[in-house]
Structure 1
Amino acid sequence: MSIFDEDKIDCHNHILDPLHFPYAADVAYRPAGQEIGSQVQHAAVMEAYGMRRALIVGPNSGYGEDNRCLLAALAASRGAFKGIAVVPNHTPTERLLELKGQGVVGIAFNPSLQGLAYYADAKDLMRRLADLDMLVQVQVHEDQMVELAPVLLDSGAQILIDHCGRPDPARGLGQAGFQAVLALARSGRATVKLSGLQKFSTGGWPFASALPYVDALIEAYGLDQCVWASDWPFLKASERLDVGPLLRWIEKLLPDVADRRRLFWDTPCRVLGFDPATH
């Protein structure tokens, strides 16, 4: 069986469709050209590569806190997709419950874009997400996790870490931010996405500088706390990327089919609430 035929859940991708869902007027970045990915295009990519389920992440680019495109994709999927929404820090619980009822399983926190100060008043939101059994998804870079980790742990929420924690390869495995990401594995409440290699690797494909960090994450978290994601349609990528080579990269990293099953299917089903028996 080809890796493309194995059951997989893509745990980080975006729907960007400015034709049907125009971008918000105040966003800092407006994806265009090959960065755009409609529901139709996304469905074709999923079918081609054997993705049975997906976690659709509402992007700060294009839409910001406008989740209409995300919610439309979730509704059209009939349960095949779950979502991560972007919301204001003071979003009321009633709105969070509405989003949860529409298939949203967590809220995105993006200090790598917004800075840590932007989330200084978000502790109450994190605690309410914990009460609602919703995920706190975080994208950090460099040493931001040092300051953020105690807040995440204090919230009681389940934590989903984007893109390997985005370490700086020039600073080595011992850098404080990456060590803080590794330490969260001991909490039993954190899951890390093996994704976004292009966001922190130096030298481009095949992302050799990212490999030591991926290896360290797998060792610290185990495959029961790791998931895989493509990051399609590759916003702000500095070079041409495609899903197929990324899957082949994982195939070389994890040659055992049973290991890939845990990464691609078993763990994301448990973490995201998909029915593992549903095809």
Structure 2
Amino acid sequence: MHIYSRAYPASSKAWLFPPDFSVDDYRKVQARLGLQRTIIVQPVTYGFDNRCTLDSVAAFGPGARAVVTVPTDVADSELDRLWQSGARGLRYHQMRGSLTEWSDVPVMAERIRGTGWHLQIQFDGLEFLDHEALIARLPCTVVIDHMGRYARPLAVEHPAVQSLLRLAVRDNVYVKLSGAYHIAHASGPEYRDVAPIAQALVRQGTGRLLWGSDWPHPTETAETMPDDADLLDLLLAWAPDPAVRQAILSDNPARLYGFG
């Protein structure tokens, strides 16, 4: 999920300017859904300025972690400070508004090799075949966002989905079962066109699958805004086994993000 506040400056490339969504706002979502932990992902709106995200982690306390965005020349001491502040991942949002490049990814992967850090990558899933080889070579833990974030619903047999499935079996790759509305657009709350991809990932193995709400859904309009309870309920169809849901919702993220 993300926190937004106009108290923090936007980056020079920002194009998405949501209204404020605060820690207190998200605590209401947590209370409603029974969520105890949270991962705050640095919005592309703030570029390399991680203060909004890290201040929010501090406000939530030990039940929160962060995924931040940094330049490739970030000092080791700054990475250490970010880690101590709760950051565990480095975000590469390779889409509109980003300050990062694909060439940054292997550079930072090498820097975090053998550490508890991971890279989180989001891009247009129709480009999977262009980037599969690079992702497969990365010497660190990788999280692929939003089930690949395909620009439209695709059959499991589509080459771009097969690329995701090949990457997902690698022992250093996690995949988020999130962002269904980015793929199936205004077809909620069931997002049936996304189910085959999610179910294929579950069938293939659930030891490195994660769930996320993507709250507060800043790309969505009043007409397409999902209900967070409906997004959580999607797992009932995608992963009907309670033990599998336990892994996706709790065990896997506890291991990845370092919750005790």
Partner of 1:118, secondary structure, is coil
Quote the residue 2:247 is aligned against.
262
1:57 aligns with one of 41, 47, 55:
41
Supply the distance in 1 between the matched residues of 2:74 and 2:165 (Cα, whole angstroms).
Answer: 30
2:18 aligns with one of 2, 25, 32:
32
User: Is the CA contact (8 Å cut-off) linking 1:23 and 1:30 kept in structure 2?
Assistant: no
Q: Deviations 1:114-153 (Å, cap 9, x if unpaired)?
A: 6899222442211112233201101122332323332233
Quote the residue 1:5 is aligned against.
none
Shifted more, 23-32 versus 261-270: the winner is 23-32
2:5 aligns with one of 17, 20, 29:
17
- Alignment TM-score, normalising by the size of structure 2: 0.90
Supply the distance in 1 between the matched residues of 2:34 and 2:98 (Cα, whole angstroms).
Answer: 36
Residue 261 of structure 1 deviates from its aligned partner by: 1.1
1:199 aligns with one of 178, 182, 200:
182
Q: Deviations 1:50-87 (Å, cap 9, x if unpaired)?
A: 111011100002x1111001111112222111100011
Question: Residue 244 in 1 paired to residue 229 in 2?
Answer: yes
Structure 2 alignment gaps of length 5 or more: none
- Cα distance change on mapping 1:25 and 1:262 into 2, 3 Å: closer
Q: Deviations 1:24-70 (Å, cap 9, x if unpaired)?
A: 2524224234xx31011111211221111011100002x11110011
| Higher RCO by CA contacts (8 Å cutoff, separation 6 or greater) | 1
Quote the residue 1:8 is aligned against.
none
Supply the distance in 2 between the matched residues of 1:90 and 1:169 (Cα, whole angstroms).
Answer: 35
Partner of 2:80, secondary structure, is helix
Q: Equivalences for 1:1-279 in 2 at 5 Å?
A: 13-18=1-6, 21-24=7-10, 26-33=12-19, 36-61=20-45, 63-113=46-96, 118-205=101-188, 206-220=190-204, 222-238=205-221, 239-275=224-260
User: Is the CA contact (8 Å cut-off) linking 1:202 and 1:209 kept in structure 2?
Assistant: no
- Alignment TM-score, normalising by the size of structure 1: 0.84
Supply the distance in 2 between the matched residues of 1:162 and 1:128 (Cα, whole angstroms).
Answer: 21
Q: Deviations 1:156-180 (Å, cap 9, x if unpaired)?
A: 1101110001135454223332222
- The percent identity for this pair of structures is 26
User: Is the CA contact (8 Å cut-off) linking 1:53 and 1:80 kept in structure 2?
Assistant: yes
User: Is the CA contact (8 Å cut-off) linking 1:83 and 1:103 kept in structure 2?
Assistant: yes
- Cα distance change on mapping 1:246 and 1:23 into 2, 3 Å: same
Supply the distance in 1 between the matched residues of 2:34 and 2:153 (Cα, whole angstroms).
Answer: 35
Larger fraction in helix: 1
Supply the distance in 2 between the matched residues of 1:46 and 1:115 (Cα, whole angstroms).
Answer: 29
Amino acid at match of 1:224: G
Supply the distance in 1 between the matched residues of 2:79 and 2:135 (Cα, whole angstroms).
Answer: 18
- Cα distance change on mapping 1:112 and 1:172 into 2, 3 Å: farther
Structure 1 alignment gaps of length 5 or more: 1-12
Residue 235 of structure 1 deviates from its aligned partner by: 1.2
- Cα distance change on mapping 1:125 and 1:25 into 2, 3 Å: closer
Aligned length: 257
